[in-house]
Amino acid sequence: MTSHDTPPQESTINPGTFGALVNVKDVHLNVSQALIITTEDRVRINLSNHLSKIEMKKAWIAPLSVLVTIVLTLVTAEFKKPGLLWSPETWQAVFIISAVLSIGWLMYTIKQAWQSESVEDLIEKLKRDSR
C-alpha cells in the first residue's frame, strides 16, 4: 500500500493552535462529502461523451463568422458584368442562399449549445450509472 492509499486519519482543529497568529473566535467544519464509486471505463466513457457535448457550446462561432462574412459581402460588393463563370444576379443569389443556409446552421448550433450538458448533468449521470 502506498502513502496515498492509506485511509485518512481523523484530526481535530483546536482554535488555540492559531492563537499566536490570529484571533480565532470559532472554527466550523463543513467537509462531509458524497462519494460516487464507479469503474474507470465508465468514467472515461462519460467524460468523453460530456466533453464532446461541452464543445457544442462553442459551435455557434463558425456559422456566425460565415454569416457575418456573407452579409458584409452582400452589403459592400457590386456584382458587375462580366461575372466569373456566372452572371452578377446568379452570384448575388448564391450569396443570399448561402446567408439563409448560414442562418439555419447558426440557429441549429445555438439550439445545441443551449441544450448542452453541465457538470451537474455529468455528476448525475455518474450517480445513476453507479446504482
pLDDT per residue as tens digits for the range 66-85: 999 999 999 998 888 776 78
Cell 452578377 locates to: 88
Q: Please, are residues 121 and 53 in contact by the beta-carbon 8 Å criterion?
A: no
Asked whether residue 2 carries a pLDDT value surpassing 60, the answer given is: no
For 40-70, how does the pLDDT look when each residue is reduced to its tens digit (9 = 90+)?
Answer: 898 899 899 888 888 888 999 999 999 999 9
Closest C-alpha to 126, from 23, 40, 29 = 40
Report d(CA 82, CA 4) in Å as an integer: 75
Asked whether residue 17 carries a pLDDT value surpassing 60, the answer given is: no
* Banded model confidence at residue 108, pLDDT cuts 50, 70, 90: very high
For 110-126, how does the pLDDT look when each residue is reduced to its tens digit (9 = 90+)?
Answer: 998 888 888 888 888 88
Task: Name the percent of the chain lying above pLDDT 90.
Answer: 31
Q: Which residues contact 11 (CB under 8 A, 6 or more apart)?
A: none
Report d(CA 104, CA 110) in Å as an integer: 10
Asked whether residue 95 carries a pLDDT value surpassing 70, the answer given is: yes
Per-residue confidence (pLDDT) for residue 1, from 0 to 100: 46
Cell 484530526 locates to: 11
Closest C-alpha to 109, from 31, 74, 57 = 57
Angle, CA 59 vertex, CA 54 and CA 66 arms, to 5°: 170
Q: Please, are residues 109 and 57 in contact by the beta-carbon 8 Å criterion?
A: no
Per-residue confidence (pLDDT) for residue 19, from 0 to 100: 52
Q: Is the pTM of the predicted complex or chain greater than 0.85? A: no
Per-residue confidence (pLDDT) for residue 126, from 0 to 100: 86
